[in-house]
Chains A and B, each alone.
Chain A
Amino acid sequence: MNDNGLLNEFTIFVLAIFIGFEVISKVPTILHTPLMSGTNAIHGIILVGAILIAATAHDPLQIALGLVAVILATINVVGGFVVTDRMLEMFKGRPTAKPAEKTPSPDKTPAPEKTP
């Protein structure tokens, strides 16, 4: 890695910090749990790193480290996205103009209009 490469990486790092702050500061409290879970899934990108080191493994120690790293990272990324999706799937508004979702539950009674 030459000095320029390191400098580029550092630039990206610093800019990403600002974007991370900026993007998150606009998220309402009600979405904090899905957000935490969603960001949790995004750091599952470590799977890229785990596969990079696993691919070149040749001695037993490298093989063991690579295998464990790939397993852990895969759990992180798959579990993270799936559980976040499950949470967000449930955020629905009042069943108004939109036609029934793909799984209309029979017990869903249409909410009555508010009367003063």
Chain B
Amino acid sequence: MTVAVALAYLVAAVLFIVGLIQLSSPRSARRGNQIAAVGMVIALLATIPLLHFTGAGIAITVVGLLIGVPIGAVAARRVKMTAIPQMVALFNGVGGGAAALVAVSELLLQGSHPPFALVFPSVFSIVIGSVSFAGSMVAFAKLQALVTGTPITYPGQQIVNGALALAIIALAVYLIAVASMPIIFVPLLILGLVLGVAFVLPIGGADMPVVISLLNAFTGLAVAASGFVLGNFALIVAGTLVGASGTLLTKLMSDAMGRSLGNVLFGAFGSVTAGPAGAAAAEGKSVRTGTPEDIATLLAYSRKVIIVPGYGLAVAQGQHAVRELADELEKRGVEVEYAIHPVAGRMPGHMNVLLAEANVPYEQLKEMDQINDEFKSADVALVVGANDVVNPAAHNSPGSPIYGMPILNADEAKNIVFMKRSMRPGFAGIDNELLYDPKTVMLFGDAKDSLMKLVAAVKAA
């Protein structure tokens, strides 16, 4: 590697780091992403002097780019904002797959008995990369509802998965120790793919973001390992940055859900639909429903309304309608804020993106810690398409699967308006006592339709 190339890689690495730092503020975040993209272009251009193209080599590089660029660009342009999580999973998976293929390909170039310094990272990249690829594809299929989002479990599953992991480790150790012929790495690739599928299948709906984040970190590490295989600094730095940040993000996400990472990954959470306690709570209790006009009056004459948006809002494409309602209320002098639970939507921060799409100013978006004390002074907590994130069972029902999860204290508001499609429990599959609270009024129906009715009624009020 020449000095010029090494320096260009250094510039690229610095731009990646600066880009990540800029991503930490809403104002500079977009520039941060663009800075990282510039770093990527520099890293790619700097690589050109290292290439010694064969005839076929230049052909497949050009063809590969010509195929990949439009697919990536069109997919990214067309995807609906509600489908972002599965799109991230998909982009992450293909990266993992590429990392594994790079390692395989580099190994095949070696004769028999490749050196340890090459075999060790290769094995790592192949296993982690293929797990990430297959796992991401399953995550995509689940979120896209191509397969059921509920956990797929069978007796002895953990044992089978454990055995798979052990088989991979045993094979890897054998290969690293003996490593006679590169072709015997193929079984490792296949086992990695099987493990990726088996590992994600038992993980259900609500936990998928944590899994995608973990797989994102996996891909980063696989890329870093491929960097060791190729002796390429750019891959090592960028891959490791992602591996480290992705691991931390994964932990932050499971913390936000009040659970340990182990519980998320191996707990098959969400397979329990309405437990006995929940079912009992539902019996003999009635809910109060209101008309849009009643609720509009309540909202229009409030001093302070806190909106708690959930995924149901996004599914109904009601983000614009909710902003319209907020605008109408503000015109009447009502103070409106949005309370964003860390895991509202399908990923941390997903709800912010969806509301930003509807031009909701981010100053109105309040994080849980900022706003939880304000519910006491709010006249109305308007819960739109959210459920689990305001379930008081997290505070006062030790038997509940979500016990200990930090929630928004919507129950402390003077009135609670729930906009839901039905009484069906939320993503976690747990009944919500708050629905039966005397302070609560229900407004059933599609979130967008209901919001439009509310807007019209507020205008008339």
Contact = CB atoms under 8 A, between A and B. Distances in A.
B33 A32 contact: no
B228 A46 contact: no
12 contacts: A20-B242, A26-B24, A33-B84, A37-B88, A45-B40, A49-B230, A53-B230, A54-B57, A63-B56, A65-B101, A73-B98, A78-B76
Contact of A43 (B220, B253, B365): B220
Contact of A27 (B23, B33, B84, B239): B23
Interface of B: 16-17, 19-21, 23-27, 29-30, 32-34, 36-37, 40, 43-44, 47, 50-54, 56-58, 60-61, 63-65, 67-69, 71-73, 75-77, 79, 81, 84-85, 87-88, 90-92, 94-95, 97-99, 101-102, 104-106, 108-109, 115, 117-118, 212-213, 216, 219-220, 223-224, 226-228, 230-246, 248-249, 252-253, 256, 327, 330-331, 333, 335, 340, 342, 345, 347-350, 352-353, 356-357, 359, 361-363, 365, 367
Nearest to B99: A46
B366 to A, nearest CB: 10
Nearest to B218: A43
B213 to A, nearest CB: 6
A23 B247 CA distance: 13
A38 B57 contact: no
B93 to A, nearest CB: 9
Contacts of A88: 29-30, 33
Given A38-B19, A65-B105, A93-B362, A70 B240 contact: no
Contact of B64 (A34, A54, A85): A54
Nearest to A88: B30
A75 B79 CA distance: 14
B108 A61 contact: yes
Contacts of A105: 359
Among all A-B residue pairs, the 8 with the closest Cβ atoms: A74-B68, A20-B244, A70-B64, A78-B72, A79-B72, A16-B240, A82-B76, A76-B95
B69 A78 contact: yes
Given A30-B340, A72-B68, A42 B356 contact: no
Given A55-B52, A109-B327, 12 more contacts: A34-B33, A35-B20, A40-B88, A42-B40, A43-B238, A45-B239, A46-B223, A54-B60, A73-B68, A83-B75, A87-B353, A90-B357
A98 to B, nearest CB: 11
Contact of A76 (B60, B73, B92, B235): B92
B105 A53 contact: yes
A112 B331 contact: yes
A36 B353 contact: no
A75 B16 contact: no
Given A34-B29, A50-B101, A78 B68 contact: yes
Contacts of B367: 28-30
A44 B90 CA distance: 12
A14 to B, nearest CB: 8
Contacts of A109: 327
Contacts of B52: 55-56
B240 A48 contact: no
Nearest to A10: B228
A27 B357 CA distance: 20
A93 B118 CA distance: 50
A104 to B, nearest CB: 11
B353 A33 contact: yes
Contact of B68 (A40, A65, A71): A71
Interface string A71-103: 111111111111111111111111000000000
A90 B21 CA distance: 19
A61 to B, nearest CB: 7
A94 B326 CA distance: 14
Contact of B87 (A62, A79, A91): A79
A62 B105 contact: yes
Nearest to A61: B108
A44 B233 CA distance: 14
Contacts of B21: 23, 26
Contacts of B68: 70-75, 78
